[in-house]
Structure 1
Amino acid sequence: MKPKDTFILVVNPIAGGQDKANLTQQVKDFTARQEVSLIEYETTGEADEEAIKKLFDEHNPQRILVAGGDGTIKMVAEALEDKDVIIGVLPSGSANGLSVDLNLPKTIEDNLAIACKGDYVEMDMVDINGKKSLHLSDLGVNAALIKNYESGRVRGKLGYALQIINTLTDLDDPFWITIEANGKKTTSEARMVVIANTNKYGTGVTINPIGKFNDGKFEIIILKSLDIITIGKILAGNIPVDDNEDVEIISTEEALIVTDKPVSFQIDGEFYGEEDRLRVKILHRQLKVAVPAKPENIT
């Protein structure tokens, strides 16, 4: 008898502020129909990477299904970065930016078909001070927004909307940044600096119009000394980034980013404290991710 495939389902129970019981049951039903053996794991926030590595070594799965937001996907990707396995994304976080860039559908049913049986692409990862990023990381305003969101009580899109107002109301002064990349040094005042492997935030805002997630490069987007209204419009997607003279984009394989003071910093939707020095490099085609078809930004 042909052996069954084995998948691991990683569920973040608090991602997006939504109960995952219905999603988990749908995954069970779908994989049962496909005669796939399903191993379930629910994250706790403690030693999750080690637990996932252990499950992988025990079961040698063909695919890892991830039900959560960008931060959960990042955690799984870090745990399995040296493993030959396809990650199937079941977006269920507050902001699912990677799923937007991968052109994943809206419904659980359609996403299950892709996560379990779809084609895959090989994605780059970005190493930032030894930490890995799949999607978008940044210094400044958006990282402060994520810090406020994580400390707030309201989850989901409403929680983000409320914290945008709070963050812009209490906006810090601009900071100065020096970037060494491509043999050049750039110094500028900034409100926000994005390290981008992909194009869009989960809200659909295109922050990196030139990026391709497997071209062996990442982009640094500098949002300079903009006023509060302009920043709000950019974060809301009402002003294209590439049409603004106060935005500069640098495409590179590695960079050193230094600020004149510690600045709020986030990776893939998770706040990582304040930083004043980031050493960044690309990790080319490190990860297999299930997709409906080859996206346009594949080289």
Structure 2
Amino acid sequence: MKKIHFIVNPIAGKGNKHIDETLLSSYFSKDHYEVRVKSTKYKGEAVVLTQESVSQGATIIVACGGDGTVNEVASVLVNSQCILGIVPIGSGNGLASHLKIPKDIEKALLLIQHEITTRIDVGSCNGTYFFSNTGFGFDAKVIRRYEGFTGRTLNSYLKACVVTFFNNKNEDSLVVTINGTKKYKDPFLIFASNSNELGYNFSLTPKASLQDGLLDVLIIPKMQKLQLVWFGVMLIFKRHLGLNGVVSYQTNKLDIIRNEGRYFESQMDGEYKTLEEIEVSIELLKDSIIVIN
């Protein structure tokens, strides 16, 4: 009998998606599965609940939520034989979208029922895992503002982008060195991605792969607002990588040193974080987690 546990974020997305044992009994019979449902009550609790499920012998642990919930659950399962499942009921759902996991709950549950698995790469930023992307600069500031809004919706995200763009001040001037060579003063954006989805069907790194052993890196230096508006236009048409001044490449390791400034503002899988370390080491861990897709 397989033990399958569901870690549910009840307020993910609009908070109107209900996953309980009654629903799951239609897909996972008591003759073959031992099903448990655990709901989170606060940010970070999915980590605790997943650790508990691992100790209880769960062989499949399903993250039901957005990218933040997936990150918390998956972080516990890196380099283990426990299988990650995803039911994307959040707002952005970047990783699930890349893996082509449907947003429809019933279709996502059917995928888990069929249990076709693959191994994917995992990103690490100073030892903290990310599965889609991590970024420094503008996108981190957008997420900081986005987290302050009541609802996590596409409209809230677009509003956060616009407000951040027109109020983008360098409260803490930053000079960074990339891989010990190139220096950037107050870079607009430093972005390292494992997947080709940023969320909401946006993509800064459209050629990124979860299985190529490489991170796709995008660096946008400090630009005038008119240049950045043009970048945004070209982003819509997925032609932004060819713009003058935009740096794009692939690597399995990226080192960023803070020469000035008190801290890094960052986001990892859509969650805002500040890093007080002087040096940030971002690397790719090949085939480090098993996921159902």
TM-score, normalization by structure 2: 0.87
Contact 1:136 1:194 in 2 (8 A): yes
Instruction: Note the 1:170-181 alignment, pairs <5 A.
Output: 170-173=167-170, 175-180=174-179
The answer for the alignment partner of 1:223 in structure 2 is 220
Q: Say if 1:167 and 1:20 are closer, same or farther in 2 by CA, change over 3 A.
A: same
Q: 2:49 aligns with which of 47, 51, 55?
A: 51
The answer for the alignment partner of 1:295 in structure 2 is none
Structure 1 runs of 4+ off > 4 angstroms?
Answer: 22-25
The separation in 2 between residues aligned to 1:200 and 1:244, in whole angstroms, is 20
Q: Say if 1:114 and 1:234 are closer, same or farther in 2 by CA, change over 3 A.
A: farther
1:121 pairs with 2:121: no
CA displacement 1:267-295 (0-9 Å, x = unmatched)? 0010012555311122111101111xxxx
Contact 1:168 1:232 in 2 (8 A): no
1:188 pairs with 2:189: no
CA displacement 1:141-177 (0-9 Å, x = unmatched)? 1111111111112322222122122111211348543
The 3-state SS of whatever aligns with 1:7 is: strand
Question: CA-atom RMSD, angstroms?
Answer: 2.4
CA displacement 1:192-239 (0-9 Å, x = unmatched)? 11111111211222211332212222122102234341354366x344
Paired residues, number? 283
Shift of 1:39: 0.9
The separation in 2 between residues aligned to 1:247 and 1:25, in whole angstroms, is 51
Taking only the aligned residue pairs, the percentage that are identical comes to 22
Gaps (5+ residues) in structure 1?
292-299
The answer for the alignment partner of 1:249 in structure 2 is 248
Instruction: Note the 1:88-103 alignment, pairs <5 A.
Output: 88-103=85-100
Contact 2:77 2:83 in 1 (8 A): no
Shift of 1:40: 1.0
Q: Say if 1:31 and 1:233 are closer, same or farther in 2 by CA, change over 3 A.
A: farther
The separation in 2 between residues aligned to 1:280 and 1:106, in whole angstroms, is 30
Gaps (5+ residues) in structure 2?
none
The separation in 2 between residues aligned to 1:46 and 1:282, in whole angstroms, is 23
Q: 2:9 aligns with which of 8, 12, 30?
A: 12
Shift of 1:257: 0.7
The separation in 2 between residues aligned to 1:100 and 1:106, in whole angstroms, is 8
The separation in 2 between residues aligned to 1:23 and 1:239, in whole angstroms, is 40
Contact 2:196 2:208 in 1 (8 A): yes
Q: Say if 1:166 and 1:62 are closer, same or farther in 2 by CA, change over 3 A.
A: same
Q: 1:142 aligns with which of 139, 147, 160?
A: 139
The 3-state SS of whatever aligns with 1:155 is: coil
The separation in 2 between residues aligned to 1:221 and 1:206, in whole angstroms, is 11
The answer for the alignment partner of 2:287 in structure 1 is 285
Q: Say if 1:234 and 1:50 are closer, same or farther in 2 by CA, change over 3 A.
A: farther
